[in-house]
Amino acid sequence: MDFLFEVVGDALNSLSGFGVELRRVIGLTLVVSVLATAFGVVIGVPLGAWIALGRTKARTAWLVAVNIGMGMPPVLAGLALLLLLWDTGPLGQLELLFSPTAMVAAQTLLAIPIAAGVTAGAVKGLPSAASEQLAALSLPGWQKGRVALVEVWPGVLAAVAAAFGRVVSEVGAVLVVGGNIVGETRVLTTAIVQETRRANFGEALALGIVLILLAGAVNGFLTWMQLRNARHD
Amino acid sequence: MIELFELRFPSDGSVLAVEGLEVRSGERLVVFGPNGAGKSTLLRLLAGTLPGGPALDSTYLPQRPYLFRGSAGFNMGLGLSAEEASRARHLADRLGIGEVLEYEASSLSGGEAQRVAIARAMARQQPWVLLDEPLSAQDEQDRMRIAAVIIEELGDRGAVIITHDREEAAVLGDRLAVLVNGRLLQEGSVDEVFSLPASDLVATAVGIGNVIDGEVVAGEGPLTSLLAGGMNIWGLGDVQPGHPGRALFGAESVTLFRGREGAAGSARNRWVGTVTELRQLGRLVEVVIDAGNRVVALVTPGSQEVLQLGPGANVTLTVKATAVRVNPR
């Protein structure tokens, strides 16, 4: 037990000495996660609505792809992107490897299927009367999608929350394409891995607490939005 | 324009198998039948919201209109051009929902929500209009007024209207198609189908009908005479004497006279009986009479008063033979 008390004590000490490096890590974590979530949502939410608002072979194929993507190990997404961005790889001349841009790209790949899958589930969950009414309206496809998404607004917020939760807590992909370079590509999760491997448990736990507070704050905000938007009938 | 369809759903026809559904421009076809008969499936095939149908160039009111988040007015304008939207607003005033358009859709009553959907659907000028139970959520006192607006807005377009209500069918329909268990059992003018159901399935489906079993005792040209419980019933039919038969006639085909003498007339069928029961049925009164068999007649509240119909009253019943169908059993 003494060991655990010692670790927690160390963690609280680290937190009180809120250094420049920690602030940088938190800042990069926020920027990368928020950007990846935003890109993932912008692509994934309409994709999910499209998948759910019709029954064609193409949509079914996409649904399968999305479901596979939702369960894809992040480290594999990172590896795939690493191979593309490697010096001699197809996109090597972009020189993006080990940059925050590459990290955002990797996490966007992870966020898209989550956002699409949760959105598709929400839209498919519309009452049958709503789906029939949508089909009966003479609206172009994108407008049907918009009406459906507004109707399942709390479900779309759940998609945003799930996507953010996925990317902010993810370590494999950012580690592979980012490289955990101090001051450049180090984020909270990769820093935790680093400190744990050095047996700096107090430091690692402190970073973990920050990560949880961060994720909790963002998801708390989304939950509040969800409740505010819930239909009162 | 006349269109003829064969409609099946799913492809094996287990839910719906209709051969030769005829829809015509300028005519209102009412599809009538009990719950689960496949009426909505038929309409959805015509509208194209179910795969495998003709998907007419139509405006379509689903059975349970659904309003999305936003104001009633926003919902009414969904998918409408500027010109259609202005027509919808005009319709909304006539349907008595002009004042609720600014309200949040979820605060509307079921009847108001349905009227928003009616205004939206009727504002579009497609050549075909498909309405699934358009008056189902309306109060008794509003239904006929809204029906009148619908009929006026239809103009010379073709319409397919679904209902399971006799009065609505009579008001909204020119022609009536009876659908039971996914099969089209009878098609004809509303009066014809209601007063002369082609089979006991149709008679049951169209509601208050008289179904009397007996034995066929005579034939005379197109007419057949059936003896049942002391009643001699003449009707159209082709059953050989000596065989069991079933007489079918609508409750509105029965004319009632007070007393046991009745009035002279051309009606072939004339029976006497005693009123056993009276029931309010919408705006009409259903009179149950024991005339050897249980016979149901429909009268207006006015007639009920004039005839002083009450339980125990003696009445004479007449029915034209051409309003009775005698089928083999």
B44: chain A residues, CB-CB within 8 Å: 132
3-state secondary structure of B294: strand
Contact A132 B66 (CB under 8 A): yes
pLDDT at B208: 57
DSSP letter (8 states) at residue B67 = P
Give DSSP secondary structure letters for A153-177: HHHHHHHHHHHHHHHHT--HHHHHH
B132: chain A residues, CB-CB within 8 Å: none
Contact B66 A137 (CB under 8 A): no
Contact A150 B69 (CB under 8 A): yes
Position B20 confidence tier, pLDDT thresholds 50, 70, 90: confident
Instruction: Tell me the pLDDT of chain A averaged across its residues.
Output: 92
Residue with tokens 């249980």: B294
Mutation for testing the B interface, residue in A59, A126, A132 having most B CBs under 10 Å: A132
Question: For residue B138, how many C-alpha atoms fall within 13 Å in the half-sphere facing its CB?
Answer: 23
B79: chain A residues, CB-CB within 8 Å: 137-139, 143
A147: chain B residues, CB-CB within 8 Å: 68, 78
For A182-229, the pLDDT digits (tens) are: 889 999 999 999 999 999 999 899 999 999 999 999 989 998 888 886
Domains, chain B:
2-199 (3.40.50.300), 208-328 (2.40.50.100)
Using an 8 Å Cβ cutoff, are A26 and A188 in contact? yes
Q: Quick one: which H or E segment has residue A18?
A: none
Q: Quick one: which H or E segment has residue B277?
A: strand B269-281
Contact B69 A136 (CB under 8 A): no
pLDDT at B182 over 90: yes
Position A134 confidence tier, pLDDT thresholds 50, 70, 90: very high
Contact B60 A136 (CB under 8 A): yes
Contact A136 B49 (CB under 8 A): yes
A57: chain B residues, CB-CB within 8 Å: none
Contact B49 A135 (CB under 8 A): yes
User: Which ipTM value was assigned to this complex?
Assistant: 0.80
Contact B69 A233 (CB under 8 A): no
For B227-257, the pLDDT digits (tens) are: 998 899 999 988 889 999 888 888 888 999 9
Contact B68 A130 (CB under 8 A): yes
B78: chain A residues, CB-CB within 8 Å: 137, 139, 147
CATH class of A2-229: mainly alpha
Lowest mean pLDDT among B86-100, B146-160, B196-210: B196-210
Mutation for testing the B interface, residue in A123, A138, A139, A233 having most B CBs under 10 Å: A138
B121: chain A residues, CB-CB within 8 Å: 136
For chain B, which residues lie within 8 Å of any Cβ of chain A, measuring from their own Cβ? 44, 47, 49, 51, 59-66, 68-70, 78-79, 106, 117, 121, 124
A153: chain B residues, CB-CB within 8 Å: 69
Position A91 confidence tier, pLDDT thresholds 50, 70, 90: very high
Share of chain A above pLDDT 70, in %: 97
- CA–CA distance, B327 with A83 (Å, rounded to integer): 81
Contact A133 B69 (CB under 8 A): no
Instruction: Report the largest interatomic distance among the alpha carbons of chain B, rounded to a whole angstrom.
Output: 70
Dihedral sign, Cα of residue B89, residue B95, residue B98, residue B104: negative
Distance of CA A34 to the CA centre of its chain: 8
Min Cα–Cα distance to chain A from B119, Å: 13
User: Which residue in chain A is spatially nearest to B40 when comparing CA positions?
Assistant: A132
User: Which residue in chain B is spatially nearest to A232 when comparing CA positions?
Assistant: B106
Using an 8 Å Cβ cutoff, are B34 and B164 in contact? yes
